[in-house]
Amino acid sequence: MKFLISLLLILSNVCAKEVAIDYESYKDALNGANKIVFDMESTKAGFITTGFSGVVKSFKLNYEIDQENIKDAKVYFFVANLDTDIDARNEKMLNLCLEAEKYPVIMVELGNLEIGKSEKDSEIQIRGQKYPLKVNVEVGKIDDVFKVKFNSKISLKGFNIPDPSIFIASVRDLIEIHGEVEIK
């Protein structure tokens, strides 16, 4: 009987959970407490460089809690939930670069996350292919709430994403990704 009670207590502490984050607008997603943001740059006429940010308006985080750690963390979202706040740029990103109809989901497998700062060897699935991804992660915990901050960099060329540049405007190859999420 003691074994059965112990097993039930252990299983109640280690169970898969999911957090769903949904925002109605670009602005809400950019300013929200839980967010994924990607920063890019474009250069027009060869010398005028401007930066812009995009967001993921809706995403899910799957994970398990094992005492003081987050285990098997995965983030996934539909490509259609990416938003740069400019319709023409969104259309090119969704159709040309990411082929949202053919490859509707992006997933990042983070693995186990321990309290403190670390660099995780993760994996991203984008455009139907899996690639290694280094992610800098900082995990803190107050009471029963984990706060996870993260950042990473990806390359359009490195992930075989078509270059959206046009004759008068070129897009920088590097995309900087950052965000944070609270897990209860």
Per-residue pLDDT tens over the stretch 93-152: 999 999 999 999 999 999 999 999 999 999 999 999 999 999 999 999 999 899 999 999
Give the start-to-end residue ranges of the domains of the chain: 17-183
The fourth-level CATH superfamily of domain 17-183 is Lipid/polyisoprenoid-binding, YceI-like (2.40.128.110)
The total number of residues shown for the chain amounts to: 184
Distance in angstroms (rounded) separating the CA atoms of residues 109 and 62 = 9
Helix (H, G, I), strand (E, B) or coil at 83: strand
Can you give the pTM of this predicted structure? 0.88
Query: How do residues 74-92 score in pLDDT, each as one tens digit?
Result: 999 999 999 999 999 999 9
Q: Count Cβ atoms within 10 A of the Cβ of residue 41 and give its class: 0-12 exposed, 13-18 middle, 19 or more buried.
A: middle
Distances (CA, A) of 60 to 33, 35, 65, 120, 181: 14, 11, 16, 19, 10
